[in-house]
Amino acid sequence: MTDIPAKASVASASNGSVLLTLMKARTFIALIAVLIFFSIAAPNFLSAANLILMSKHVALNAFLAMGMTFVIITGGIDLSVGSIVGLCGMVAGYLVLNGIDLQVGYTIYFNVFEIALITLAVGILIGAVNGLLITRLNVAPFIATLGVLYVARGLALLSSDGRTFPNLVGKPDLGTTGFGFLGAGRLLGLPVSIWILVVVALGAAYLAKYTPLGRHIFAVGGNERAARISGVRVNMVKMFVYMFSGFCAAIVGLIISSELMASHPATGESFELNAIAAAVLGGTSMSGGRGTIGGTIVGAFVIGILSDGLVMMGVSSFWQMVIKGLVIIVAVVVDQAQRRLQSRVTLMQMAKAG
């Protein structure tokens, strides 16, 4: 009995298993396909400047999608990320321009590094609010984060009465200059935001694979009750994923306002949908328990390149929407087909092995 699986794995490389390998790498293949397609169809697509520009766009969605991936793996959803992006951008802008007025005649100004830390803290805090609503008050994730979506967006609008904080250059005498570095700076020829993405992504992938917390995230999504009885701190795990999602959203808020050197309260509207799309395209299962950071990043690249490429080709934004939707649907259909094919292929291998 036990010798049969061993034999079967020897008998590989049949037609089916080639197809299976192709399907497993489908997001990656999709990525290469869009790259090839646009490099032919859109002039200048492969120029270094354009590639860097695109990856900066992709990075924004990739951050959100990573946070979203963990949330979805635990069986939840985070609709509030777009609003957190907007609110965090406003927080950063406000701090650069106004500092904090202590009401006693003093105003504290922070340097850019401190501003970044405070903004990240705000993002994490909002994530914690999501987490508390979901774990302590038992609100369904969809509803809790939907509520926070509105609250955070409302606060962002209130913070400036709906106006933009322009011109975030800061004043040298207050030490608030240099805010543009995040969005426009370069290290070793690559944009700073890309480096941050690399660091956060490697960290998240490591966390998912090699730490107890990562394992627990999957366990909670797979069977919350069993996880609890096994001693997994389910509430802590959920708090973490929403706080991490908030953290990622805060990074995006910082980067966008730094790129534009301005904060606009409507920034980030509908970003949550792109993030969900990237996660799903990368193989994250909406019912929880399944997903990878690597897959999500590739998914974000596919979506990002697709929309930038279509823009370059001059396709109307209406058609862009249709195409993006179709790509997402096709991705999930292929995902299902792969599962079916997988068992079929093993059958064929078995048959060969006798």
Partner 1 sequence: MNAAIDHDVILKLVDVSKVYSGTVAVKRANFEVRKGAVNVLVGENGAGKSTLMKIIAGVEQPTLGRILLEGEEVSFSSSGEAVSRGIGMVFQELNLFGNLTVAENIFATREITNRFRKIDSREQERRAAEFLERLEAGIRPDMLVEDLRIGQQQLVEIAKAVSLDARILIMDEPTSALSAAEVEILFKVIADLKASGVAIVYISHRLEELIRIGDYITVLRDGRITGQEKMKNVDTQWIVRQMIGSDAKDFAKADGHVPGEEIFRAEDICLPRVTGGLAVDHVSLSLRTGEILGIYGLMGAGRSELFDCIMGRHGHATGTIFIAGKKVRERDTTRRIRRGLALIPEDRQREGLVSILSVASNLTLASLSRFVRLFHISGAKENQAVAQMVRELAIKVADPAQEVSSLSGGNQQKVVIGKALLTGPKVLLMDEPSRGIDVGAKADVFRTMRKLSRDGLGILFATSDLDEVMALSDRIAVMSNGKLTGMFDRAEATEAALVAASALGHGPVPHTESHAHD
| Residues lying near partner 1 in the complex (CB under 8 A) | 1-2, 4-5, 8, 210-213, 215-216, 218-219, 222-223, 225-233, 289-290, 342-343, 346-347, 350-351
Residues contacting 230, CB < 8 A, separation 6+: 219
Cβ 339 to partner 1 shortest distance, Å: 10
Minimum CB distance to partner 1 smaller for 99 or for 289: 289
SS (H, E, C) 17-33: HHHHHHHHCHHHHHHHH
Q: How far is CA 208 from the centre of its chain?
A: 15
Minimum CB distance to partner 1 smaller for 105 or for 231: 231
Cβ 5 to partner 1 shortest distance, Å: 4
Closest alpha carbon to 263 in 134, 159, 135: 159
Minimum CB distance to partner 1 smaller for 191 or for 282: 282
d(CA 233, CA 237): 6
HSE-up of residue 113 (Cα within 13 Å, Cβ side): 0
Cβ 342 to partner 1 shortest distance, Å: 7
Minimum CB distance to partner 1 smaller for 1 or for 48: 1
Minimum CB distance to partner 1 smaller for 76 or for 309: 76
Cβ 249 to partner 1 shortest distance, Å: 24
Cβ 17 to partner 1 shortest distance, Å: 12
- Both tokens of 2, joined, read 């036990």
Cβ 207 to partner 1 shortest distance, Å: 9
d(CA 42, CA 283): 28
SS (H, E, C) 121-145: HHHHHHHHHHHHHHHCCCCCHHHHH
Cβ 237 to partner 1 shortest distance, Å: 11
3-state helix, strand, coil in the chain (%, to 5): 75, 5, 25
Q: Is 165 helix (H, G, I), strand (E, B) or coil?
A: strand
Minimum CB distance to partner 1 smaller for 2 or for 317: 2
Minimum CB distance to partner 1 smaller for 153 or for 216: 216
Query: Could you tell me how many residues make up the chain?
Result: 354
